[in-house]
Amino acid sequence: MKSWLDVAADVRRSVTLKKSRRSIYTRAGAWHDAPSIGQEAASVGSIATLRPEDLIIHHHRGHAIHTIAKGANLTTMMAEFLGKEPGYCRGRGGSMHIADIPGGNLGATGVVGGGIPTAVGIALALQMRRSDRILLSYFGDGATNEGEFHESLNMASTWKLPVVFLCDNNQYGMSMNVSKVMNIAHISERAASYGIPGQSVDGNDVLAVYEAVLAADERARSGQGPSLIDLMSYRWRGHSKSDRNLYRTPQEIDEWKHKCPIRRFKQVLVDGGVMTRDEVEDIDQAAKTAIDRAAEEALTFPEPSPENMEAEVYAP
Amino acid sequence: MAEITLIEAVTQAMAYEMRRDPSVIVLGEDVGVNGGVFRATAGLHAQFGSERVLDTPLDETTIAGLAVGMAFQGMKPIAESQFDGFIYPMMDHIICHAARMRSRTRGRLHCPMVLRAPCGGGIRAPEHHSEAPEALFAHIPGLRVVIPSSPARAYGLLLAAIRDPDPVIFFEPKRIYRQYKEEVPDDGEALPLDVCFVLRDGHDVTLVTWGAHVKETLEAAEQLAERGVSAEVIDLATIKPIDFDTIRESVKKTGRCVIVHEAARTAGIGAEIAAQLAEKSMFDLVAPVERVTGYDVPIPLFRLEMKYLPSVERIIAAVDRTLAYR
Ligand SMILES: Cc1ncc(C[n+]2csc(CCOP(=O)(O)OP(=O)(O)O)c2C)c(N)n1
Ligand SMILES: [Mg+2]
């Protein structure tokens, strides 16, 4: 089990994330920015449970949170967001399809739910090869209404695969509140249909996330099969740039801003005597500087050339 | 009369037909209160209520399947796929059931549904948000495929699609959703689903295109005219079935044909048109048929996107190649 200090080190990354939602997308002319502000603890707390060789596969809102938490180089990540040649996917994946293969981040996907069956396939391969690595499969609350979510949990459960299913539940799929599209109180209840453990956790409490996911990791690693953990949080910003928040109230958004997972963990660190307030704020400042520097550097990088547009569609 | 954009024409057509025919139902993700990702269904929920404008769970497969089932019961569902790239899970139900039911039952059951989806690139969006999958559907017997290129044609063609007794895939070129406005009388007049539109008369070369690329093609024709080259421009509009008679008549006059589309080159609709020309217009042609298309790659991100999409320059270069033959 990791110590508090290890987790505190991971929060450094969490704070970094927040600063990455600057307007560099707009400056660089990129289109997509699915902001994950407010949801940092779920990805940081869960990825902190992993061994370095473990894997993740995530979603359209994971381009920054999961990617940084899995240890990405900030400059290379920013370069990818900006579609630059030195990016993680040489500017071909962008924010929605970023992948850091050597880092064990097998990629985000723009297809909601699309990563879940792939995760099951990866887990099956890990099992067949007698590997002791595990995989975290992330998806949103909306994605759990796609058929492939259910089909995947069924297979993974039947074959006791080394995967943990993690729902980044921000309570909305675009404009749709989760309560209007499923007749159960908690997404974790769905686990019962597949005979696996299901748990709903306060996704804004990084330590609660850490503990729940670590237990599920151990279960997966020891051959007992998958679990479903519902990491309940909230998306502060609109779904994307064009969202006008017609489906929720400003009060609701404000309430959740008061439950900021980063501020909350900072307080825990200070109250527990792990760090001083100054140390915590220093991390914040350092994160801001690191992100700014990464973005500035990435902006100077070369763009992909049209000459090799058709390269790498097939093996050379 | 107010001038409206292409996307407003789409909304206007749905609203007209919903008023006229109570069996018309709109369904899809975020189509209700939110009015759809591009706002194509804006205002419909307020006018027609939750029973006729149905916000579904996020589940493309079943959205398509339930539209098929509703259509079998004589309703006229208009289902929306939020983007072109999310239509693939819907294809199962569209291909295996919607397209085949009429022929499978020898006409006893049919499927009067419309599947609407924004299509094409040019808005700096990633992959699944920028695709042009019309050829995939055109290949399927039993489906109609339509892509409008102006507000007025969007209105008339969508009305026709909703009224048609068979399944229609209606792709809306998102790049020109708000490109310009024109007057579109809300008169309920549908356009035919098997006739293409000659947008410009000419006698040296026939340019065939559809959707968003009508604009670049007309621009190319304009620039060619300045050099004394007279190009005829045809908006295909109905991708399946293709109005080949009009294309053939034009080529009889011009002897040259350049097809412009943004979908990948191999097995695109351009290949079908070229094949039909080879079959039926061989002796009218004085030059090989040219295609100006996207490349055989997934549409690249925003930095290379405009290099991928056919440009005015590429269209003119292709025309020049055909003009080298006399
Ligand atoms: C298969 C598919 N359908 C529709 C979309 C459009 N879309 C993008 S995100 C989204 C909502 C996803 O909700 P959820 O899974 O809860 O993730 P969140 O965006 O809330 O993080 C939708 C409908 C998509 N990307 N993929
Ligand atoms: Mg969500």
Look up the CATH number of the domain holding residue A23.
Answer: 3.40.50.970
Q: How confident is the model at residue A285 (pLDDT cuts 50, 70, 90)?
A: confident
Measured by CA distance, the residue closest to atom 19 of ligand 1 is A173
Residue A91, phi-psi category: left (phi > 0), alpha (psi -120 to 50), beta (remainder): left
> Which one, of A139, A80, A77, A84, lies nearest residue A109 by Cα?
A139
Mean pLDDT of B37-48: 97
Cβ contact A313–B298 (<8 Å): yes
Question: What is the location of CATH 3.40.50.970 in chain B?
Answer: 3-183
**In terms of CA atoms, which chain A residue is nearest residue B59?**
A146
Calculate how close chain A gets to B282, using CA atoms only, in Å. 32
Q: Does A107 touch chain B (CB under 8 A)?
A: no
Mean pLDDT of A250-259: 96
Q: Which residues does chain B have within 8 Å of residue A182's beta carbon, measured at their own beta carbons?
A: 57
Q: How confident is the model at residue A16 (pLDDT cuts 50, 70, 90)?
A: low
Domain residue limits at A115: 4-301
Q: Does A245 touch chain B (CB under 8 A)?
A: no
Contact between B57 and A176 (Cβ < 8 Å): yes
Main-chain phi, psi angles of A299, to 5 degrees:
-65, -25
Residue B71 and residue B76: Cα distance in Å, rounded? 6
Contact between A84 and B302 (Cβ < 8 Å): no
Q: Does B308 touch chain A (CB under 8 A)?
A: yes
**In terms of CA atoms, which chain A residue is nearest residue B56?**
A181
Calculate how close chain A gets to B230, using CA atoms only, in Å. 31
Contact between B262 and B211 (Cβ < 8 Å): yes
Calculate how close chain A gets to B85, using CA atoms only, in Å. 8
Measured by CA distance, the residue closest to atom 22 of ligand 1 is A174
pLDDT reported for residue A243: 86
Is A141's C-beta closer than 6 angstroms to any atom of ligand 1? yes
Beta bridge partners of B115: B79, B169
pLDDT reported for residue A64: 83
Q: Is A307 within a domain?
A: no
Mean pLDDT of B62-66: 98
Residue B309 and residue B313: Cα distance in Å, rounded? 11
Residue A256 clears pLDDT 80, i.e. is over it: yes
pLDDT digits (tens, 9 = 90+) for B10-37: 999 999 999 999 999 999 999 999 999 9
Mean pLDDT of A179-187: 97
Cβ contact A30–B37 (<8 Å): no
Write the residue in A146, A309, A313 that is nearest to B58 by C-beta.
A146
CA A188 to centroid of ligand 1, rounded, Å? 19
Q: Which residues does chain B have within 8 Å of residue A91's beta carbon, measured at their own beta carbons?
A: 301, 303
Residue A311 clears pLDDT 90, i.e. is over it: no
Contact between A135 and A119 (Cβ < 8 Å): yes
pLDDT reported for residue A241: 77
User: Chain A to chain B, count of Cβ pairs less than 8 Å apart?
Assistant: 102
Residue A291 clears pLDDT 90, i.e. is over it: no
Contact between B208 and B236 (Cβ < 8 Å): yes
Provide the residues around ligand 2 (an ion) whose CB is within 5 A: A 140-142, 170, 173
Question: What is the location of CATH 3.40.50.920 in chain B?
Answer: 197-323
Q: Does B296 touch chain A (CB under 8 A)?
A: yes
Residue B162 and residue B141: Cα distance in Å, rounded? 19
Count of domains for chain A:
1
Q: Which fold has domain B3-183?
A: Rossmann fold (3.40.50)
pLDDT reported for residue A1: 46
Q: Does B310 touch chain A (CB under 8 A)?
A: no
Residue B52 and residue B44: Cα distance in Å, rounded? 9
pLDDT reported for residue A22: 46
pLDDT digits (tens, 9 = 90+) for B83-141: 999 999 999 999 999 999 999 999 999 999 999 999 999 999 999 999 999 999 999 99
Contact between B275 and B245 (Cβ < 8 Å): no
Q: How confident is the model at residue A195 (pLDDT cuts 50, 70, 90)?
A: very high
Count of CB atoms situated within 10 Å of the CB of B324: 7
Count of CB atoms situated within 10 Å of the CB of A179: 10
pLDDT digits (tens, 9 = 90+) for B192-203: 999 999 999 999
pLDDT digits (tens, 9 = 90+) for B186-233: 999 999 999 999 999 999 999 999 999 999 999 999 999 999 999 999
How many angstroms separate the Cα of B88 from the Cα of each of A243, B79, B284?
25, 14, 39
Write the residue in A29, A110, A180 that is nearest to B126 by C-beta.
A110
Q: Is A306 within a domain?
A: no
Cβ contact B300–A112 (<8 Å): no
Q: Which fold has domain B197-323?
A: Rossmann fold (3.40.50)
Count of CB atoms situated within 10 Å of the CB of B283: 8
Instruction: Write out chain B in H/E/C secondary structure.
Output: CCEECHHHHHHHHHHHHHHHCCCEEEEECCCCCCCCCCCCCCCHHHHHCCCCEEECCCCHHHHHHHHHHHHHCCCEEEEECCCHHHCHHHHHHHHHHHCCHHHHCCCCCCCCCEEEEEECCCCCCCHHHCCCCHHHHHCCCCCEEECCCCHHHHHHHHHHHHHCCCCEEEEEEHHHCCCCCEECCCCCCCCCCCCCEEEECCCCEEEEECHHHHHHHHHHHHHHHHCCCCEEEEECCEEECCCHHHHHHHHHHHCCEEEECCCCCCCCHHHHHHHHHHHHCHHHCCCCCEEECCCCCCCCCHHHHHHHCCCHHHHHHHHHHHHCCC
Cβ contact A174–B30 (<8 Å): yes
Q: Does B118 touch chain A (CB under 8 A)?
A: no
